[in-house]
Amino acid sequence: MAISDTTETGGTTVGTDSDLNHSSLRRRHSAASGFDADELVRDLDSSDSLNGKSNEEKDNDDDKKQQHATADNGNQNETGVRERVTDVKFTYRPYVPVHRRIRESPLSSDNIFKQSHAGLFNLCIVVLVAVNSRLIIENLMKYGWLIKYDFWFSSKSLRDWPLFMCCLSLAIFPLAAFFVEKLAYKRSISEPVVVLLHIIITTTAFSYPVLVILRCDSAFVSGVTLMLLTCIVWLKLVSYVHTNYDMRAITFSKEKGEALPNTLNMEYPYSVSFKSLAYFMVAPTLCYQLSYPRTPSVRKGWVFRQLIKLIIFTGVMGFIIEQYTYPIVRNSQHPLKGNLLYAMERVLKLSVPNVYVWLCMFYCFFHLWLNILAELLRFGDREFYKDWWNAKTVEDYWRMWNMPVHKWMVRHVYFPCLRIGLPKSAAIFIAFLLSAVLHELCIAIPCHMFKLWAFIGMMFQVPLGLITNYLQNKYRNSMVGNMIFWFIFCIFGQPMCVLLYYHDLMNRKGEVE
């Protein structure tokens, strides 16, 4: 038997007719001899035929193999044994080429991201479990049980009752906005009056909780919770007002007979409904619309399983904070007022538990809690995040990390800025500026101090985004931007902010006392 001298194309060669006639004999499965020919073919070359045949010829071989297998079932045992022995004699002769095309190693830079790494992921999980189990045991043997149960439940929390009452009273502001929109829908008040009333309502909705926190000596966790809830209510109110204003403007334009592009056709007629507002205020979204995609039913068993996961991962997060993060921070110095090498050692030591807490927080809130809430409300669109862990630039991270906030920024900040004539860079800067202000207020107000560390950290994302965009454009198909993102957020950014705010807070308490 001979192999054709025809030039290889696409890693295959064309064989002779005699090759086709004997192909089924060469590739027949050999079960009795213990030699699995088909498995060896897959090991040597999963895509090309080792005997130099094209895809069409291989298909013919498979058909012939099936026909031979059917015929073999009717033959006698002696004939079957002789055929299997012949199969071994003619299969994978030494003269058949094994290397037929150019290929990259699986871990090469051009091929590493074109295949699954599920096995390596499982290995990482096993290594993480083994290493962290040893560290947990070592920590418990050295320091003992450091968790204080009053971290979550304490009788001192009763002094935070004004903050709890403030949380309940936040429902007044959406109700006030609804009445204003109802009057505007009936055209009982003019548009400038509507805008003025909404400015008063949204400003009061944000400033009222701030004043309550500043006047009360509440716990930090209680203050952060109220501030986060306040920001959510404020963002929802802005979306509700802005969306109704836009629908009202389109409706008035149509009534005047103005020609509008097809893109401005509303899917639902303009209306003001208390039911739609009430659903929006509790739904896991920050963007108001008259109707949302809904799932047919609530999966009660699924909700129960997610609640169990939420409890478990919340406990893990609390364990890491109390057993690792807090002792490291408490035994450190102010990173800007001490030895530089010592500060770097503290930051690096804090980075690992900080990453674990950050990932647990993301999983508990963005995946578990928002999905539980969506399931209970039958909310259909559950894209609360994207694969931000694959972000190659800082801009990609902020577009994928928190989808509810990102969609709100795009809808109510970014494109409105473009529509009034601002350049794209200015619109991005304004979006980051608003985000930086909200981040700073959510931390500074509960701490009763303004150090602007969170604000500076958020605004630093603007030049960092430009740097990562430049590197990604220069080194295409690389993960240099992704590595910079992980380094900044996990090793340098968040641990440094934790140390800065902790020591500034401790210094403030010392001065007050």
Are the C-beta atoms of 316 and 322 separated by less than 8 Å? no
Dist CA 451 CA 439 (whole Å): 12
Query: CA torsion angle for 157, 286, 451, 461 (degrees, to 10)?
Result: 140
Distance CA 180, CA 159 (A): 35
- Catalytic residue (choose from 198, 406, 412, 439): 439
Q: Which residues of 299-317 are buried (b: 16+ CB within 10 A; e: fewer)?
A: eeeeeeebeeebeebbeeb
Q: Count CB atoms within 10 A of the CB of residue 322.
A: 17
> Torsions phi, psi of 379, nearest 5?
-80, 125
The one-character DSSP state at 6 is P
Q: How many angstroms from the chain centroid is the CA of residue 320?
A: 22
* 439 is an active site residue: yes
Tokens representing residue 97 in the block:
């080429």
How far apart, in whole angstroms, are the C-alpha atoms of residue 7 and residue 9? 6
Closest to 165 measured CA to CA, from 228, 222, 237: 222
Distance of CA 228 to the CA centre of its chain: 20
Give φ, ψ of 9 to 5 degrees. -130, 125
Residues designated catalytic: 439
